[in-house]
Homo-oligomer: A and B are copies of this chain.
Amino acid sequence: MNAIIASTSTIHGSEYLAYLQPTLKEHFNNIKELIFIPFARPGGISHDVYTQKAQEGLAALNIKVKGIHEFKNYTEAITQAEAIFTGGGNTFVLLNQLYQHKLIAPLQDAILNRKIPYLGTSAGSNICGKNIKTTNDMPIVYPPSYDSLGILPFNINPHYLDPNPNSTHKGETRETRIKEFHAYNSTPVIGLREGSWLKATEKDIVLEGNLKARVFKQGEIPYEVAPNTSFKNLK
């Protein structure tokens, strides 16, 4: 495994993928062509428009980006990919499309066995957990299952947001939602703040970026961990 699993593609006041450029330069070293999975369609944009955006975000690395939708055979696109990037958007739509096109097993094989460089942002990171039950997204389509790639032995919650002490809004906080998840599920959850990412390899799964992350385990009080923390043994 050789994956960058990022909370977000974009941080405030900065361009698409800009904050990740030094990391991606190393991660995609020697990669000439990358397969982009645009299925999550943020804001409902088309696959072509989204792929163009990914191309622009990776232009400085001299990588040619091809959208998976440009291929006749989606499975072949994955099995022959040098590198894969799954963009953010709606996690339900993304996972539904992966099931519809029977891409779960090919993606697992590419990431876990062929060990090609993978990049996920937001929804593209959510699907790296055991299931999508800790997504923040609206369930606008009904996927055949919530089980996802499971290349991580836990779930992540991207765009993790701390409770706002000044809020008058009575909707659930993110922490309350994850607590509710743990009323029914034992899988640990990492709340990844915007600007954080996980670097997942065979040897280790490490928190990168400058921010702490928040770890939620069933029946335990959530706790903060610093950058460089290893999650290898988090189960």
Contact = CB atoms under 8 A, between A and B. Distances in A.
Interface in A77-133: 89-90, 92-93, 132-133
Interface stretch (A53-61, A135-143, A205-213): A135-143
A179 interface: yes
A140 B170 contact: no
A133 B137 contact: no
A14 to B, nearest CB: 10
A182 B141 CA distance: 11
Nearest to A11: B170
Contact of A170 (B12, B89, B93, B135): B12
Contact of A172 (B137, B176, B183): B137
Interface string A175-189: 011111111110000
B145 A142 contact: yes
Contact of A135 (B90, B139, B180, B185): B139
A144 B133 CA distance: 15
Interface stretch (A22-30, A41-49, A66-74): A41-49
Instruction: Please tell me how many copies of the chain the complex holds.
Output: 2
A90 B180 contact: yes
A203 interface: no
Contacts of A170: 8-12, 159, 194
By CB atoms of chain B within 10 A, which of A44, A132, A182 has the most? A44
**Most chain B beta carbons < 10 A, residue from A90, A93, A138, A145:** A138
A209 to B, nearest CB: 14
Interface string A133-169: 1111111111001100000000000010100000011
Contacts of A142: 133, 145-146
Contacts of A172: 42-43, 136-137
20 contacts: A8-B170, A8-B171, A12-B169, A12-B170, A41-B180, A43-B176, A43-B179, A44-B183, A90-B180, A92-B139, A93-B184, A133-B139, A133-B141, A134-B140, A135-B138, A136-B172, A138-B177, A140-B181, A142-B145, A170-B194
Interface of A: 8-13, 41-44, 89-90, 92-93, 132-142, 145-146, 159, 161, 168-172, 176-185, 194
